Amino acid sequence: MRFAFYGRVSTEDQQDPQASKAWQLSRARSLIEPAGGEIVAEFFDIGQSRSLPWKRRPEALRLLDTIKSAGRDFDAVVIGEPQRAFYGSQFGMTFPVFVHYGVGLWVPEIGGAIDPGSDAHDLVMALYGGMSKGERNRIKVRVRSAMKAQTELEGRFLGGRPPYGYRLADAGPHPNPGKAAEGRRLHRLEPDPVTAPVVERIFSEYVAGRGMTSIARGLTQDGIACPSAYDRARNPHRRTQVWETTAVRAILQNPRYTGRQVWNRARTDEVLIDVDDVALGHENRHRWNDPSQWVWSRAESHTPLISTDLYERAQQTVKKRGTNSDAGKAPRHTSRPYLFRGLITCGLCDRKMVGNPNHGRLYYRCTASRDFVRQRQISHPPVLYLREDAIIRPVDEFLRDELTGPNLADNLRRVAEAQHRAALAAYGDAGEVEKLRQTITDADRKINGYRATLDAGGDPALIAGWIAETTAIKKAAQARLGLTEAPPQRMTADQLDAIAEAFSDLLGLLRGADPRDRAELYSRLRLKMIYQPGPETLIAEVVTPADLRVFDMCPEGDLNPHAR
């Protein structure tokens, strides 16, 4: 029998993926080889949590797609460790697919193939799914309990970026002998001589009555670098050079400036993606905990930048002014179906315009502070508005013209010709074909030799590295051989016209679609727009070889929505 192997390793356990794959493969082979089985395909997920359903693991999904394919080259699937493959009720939602397509599933715990009609086999697999879930939960409990104890009793710095105002200092070798042998060391917080006075200034000015925005503007005007500008490694994705109100608020609400370590300010909840389709699994949501759930160190763990009294006064001021950050609440998710969310860019500052309701209508807004405008030396109003209902019809008509009729057919022909030329460039000669076939044969011979060495008691980690390297060479040769053995075929005119015909009623489809589906369609079409407020023009583009189209926009897209 020909088998496909499936395995999984999670980097959360700090395991070596190659070594883990090697022993899972060895366990799988010891099960099937006495029955004359051979592994002809491998699917191995690295860094994927076991709680993810199979459809959300890349290699598991590829395995499912291959099972459904008529051209698969295996008859059954073997799993070396079911607790790594199935979590909770995943077996019950996955195995029916195997049965439907006539693909067997072998696991060592059953001693061979799982019988679809055996209640005992179902119970065993359900048991291992429950054990897998229980193991993950126990690890979470142990880790959280250890972090709580280390914070409360030792005041240990648990990792991550140091708060603005502090820097990391060495605190000696790691107490775990194994980690200490690897050179791991503990760290502690110490005041940064450059930024620590800024933190003190922020707290003092705020308690004295100055607002967060005013403090941010004063810091920018005094030439003090904001956190992302002072330490580019903290937020490399941010380009701002000015202090934002959010940065001031985050500093004011950070209790670690009192000199005590604080843990559990936030948590990660697992929330069902779709309550009507539990098989899709969960997604992580980060949420703030109530201050009553925070864990404080019993004693000072690092040099305080402010007194505890000053911190408490700042928190009372925050509550009094009504600018609290809704601690403990889930992130806000608007139910308004913005059709062009994330698709419109401000032509003045190159930032994304965000959705904003105003007087019962939907707008896209771009705001710019005086410091932002002055630093970039651009002409930008404080608030720039673009009305959604003013651009829907022009955008739909643009898509109709661009994606239907002769324009689409011409674009498809250009894309097909470009892809055909690229494929022809990769088309090789007979000599190269022979070399690639020889490379594949040599790789198979080496892999069989490595496996024999492994069976003879060789070092699994070392041999796994050899096998991985040779397998990579083999796969690269196979991919190249697929391009060289047969010349690429061009799409016919009828095929291109059929694709174009499918878009013939695009405008009617858009008008009758649910707003959420409509927004998804705009995104999938890779629609991009740039709003130029001066000439009140929206530049729209679909990412194809088509020419950039420009059309005039209705005057409702203006700078003053309150007047309409």
Element (H, E) at 365: strand 361-367
Q: Which of 86-90, 248-252, 473-477 has the highest mean pLDDT?
A: 248-252
Structural domain boundaries of the chain?
Answer: 2-138, 166-321, 344-403+504-563, 428-486
Q: What are phi and psi of 404, to 5 degrees?
A: -135, 160
Residues 295, 54: Cα–Cα separation, whole Å: 36
Cα–Cα distance, 253 to 266 (Å, whole number): 13
Whose structure tokens read 């391009």? 483
pTM attached to this predicted model? 0.55
Q: Regarding predicted confidence, which is higher, 464 or 301?
A: 301
Query: Is residue 264 within 8 Å of 152, Cβ to Cβ?
Result: no
Residues 518-537, mean pLDDT to the nearest whole number: 82
| pLDDT on residue 107 | 93
Burial of 512 (0-12, 13-18, 19+ CB in 10 A): exposed
Q: What percent of the chain has pLDDT over 90?
A: 26
* CA separation for the pair 337, 444 (Å, rounded): 55
Q: Which two tokens stand for residue 158?
A: 């648990």
* Mean pLDDT (whole number) for 495-503: 57
Q: What is the DSSP letter of 352?
A: B
Residue 210 has pLDDT above 50, yes or no: yes
pLDDT tens digits for 402-435?
766 566 666 666 656 655 555 555 444 556 677 7
Given pLDDT bands bounded at 50, 70 and 90, which one contains residue 100? Answer: very high
Max avg pLDDT among 185-199, 481-495, 539-553: 185-199
pLDDT band at 558 (very low <50, low <70, confident <90, very high): very low
pLDDT digits (tens, 9 = 90+) for 314-357: 999 988 886 444 444 444 555 567 888 888 999 888 888 988 88
Residue given tokens 């985050």 in the structure block? 250
Q: Do domains 2-138 and 166-321 have the same CATH topology?
A: no
| Superfamily of domain 2-138 in the CATH hierarchy | Resolvase, N-terminal catalytic domain (3.40.50.1390)
pLDDT digits (tens, 9 = 90+) for 234-281: 767 666 678 888 899 999 999 999 999 999 999 888 888 877 777 777
Distance between CA 256 and CA 254 in Å, rounded?
Answer: 6
218 CA to centre of own chain: 36
CA–CA dist 255, 306 (Å, integer):
10
pLDDT at position 506: 58
Give all strands (DSSP E) within 478-536, no chain letters.
Answer: 527-532
**The pLDDT value given to residue 323:** 47
Burial class (CB in 10 A: 0-12, 13-18, 19+), 166: buried
Architecture of domain 166-321: Alpha-Beta Complex (3.90)
Look at residue 66 in the predicted model and tell me its pLDDT: 93
Sole residue written with tokens 């060592």:
108
